[in-house]
């Protein structure tokens, strides 16, 4: 039972941290790995899937953002949104491989939704990016902390 709760907790933490809310799932991932009570591969995959799910939430926000674009309280000006859309138009879906970058990657996943990136390519590229981040985090922690 503890194992299931641990994996679910890591998934939720990873999902929230990959959304627009600041949270550091890497600390939870590395901490759980160093307990040596759980599968390293299982933890990495769980965190990567949670991060990807958070990216999907951002993508959904991007898909719905057009509804609020002309509201006075909307945080982005038309010029900023057009500039970001132009950037995404230039670099395209492959820029989603940068979804692992803290803060900027969250905005990139929202932008992919704004640009109506199809879900399947989005999922594949964001999962690859998030998996690389988790593996890199674990390798760096193992090198620095051991």
Instruction: List, for residues 88-146, the tens digit of each pLDDT value.
Output: 888 889 999 999 998 888 889 999 998 999 999 999 999 999 999 999 999 998 888 76
Confidence band (pLDDT; 50, 70, 90) for 73? confident
Q: Which residue has the tokens 């998996």?
A: 131
As a three-state string, the secondary structure of the chain is: CHHHHHHHHHHHHHHHHHCCCCCCHHHHHHHHHHHCCCCHHHHHHHHHHHHHHHHHHHHHHHHHHHHHCCCCCCCCCHHHHHHHHHHHHHHHHHHHHHCCCCCHHHHHHHHHHHCCCCHHHHHHHHHHHHHHHHHHHHHHHHHHHC
Number of independent structural domains in the chain: 1
**Tally of CB atoms within 10 A around 49:** 19
CA angle 63/120/97 to nearest 5° reads 85
User: What was the pLDDT predicted at 24?
Assistant: 82
Domain hosting 119: range is 1-145
pTM for the whole thing?
Answer: 0.88
Average pLDDT, the chain: 89
């Amino acid at each position: 039972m503890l194992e299931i709760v641990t994996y679910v907790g890591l998934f939720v933490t990873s999902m929230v941290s990959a959304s627009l809310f600041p949270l550091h799932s890497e600390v939870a991932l590395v901490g759980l790995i160093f307990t040596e009570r759980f599968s390293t591969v299982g933890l990495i995959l769980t965190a990567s899937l949670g991060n990807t799910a958070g990216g999907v939430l951002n993508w959904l926000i991007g898909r719905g953002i057009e509804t609020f674009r002309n509201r006075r309280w909307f945080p982005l000006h038309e010029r900023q949104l057009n500039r970001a859309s132009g950037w995404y138009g230039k670099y395209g879906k492959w820029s989603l491989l940068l979804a692992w970058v803290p803060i900027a990657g969250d905005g990139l996943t929202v932008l992919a939704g704004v640009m109506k990136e199809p879900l399947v390519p989005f999922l594949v590229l964001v999962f690859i990016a998030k998996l690389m981040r988790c593996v890199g985090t674990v390798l760096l922690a193992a090198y620095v902390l051991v």
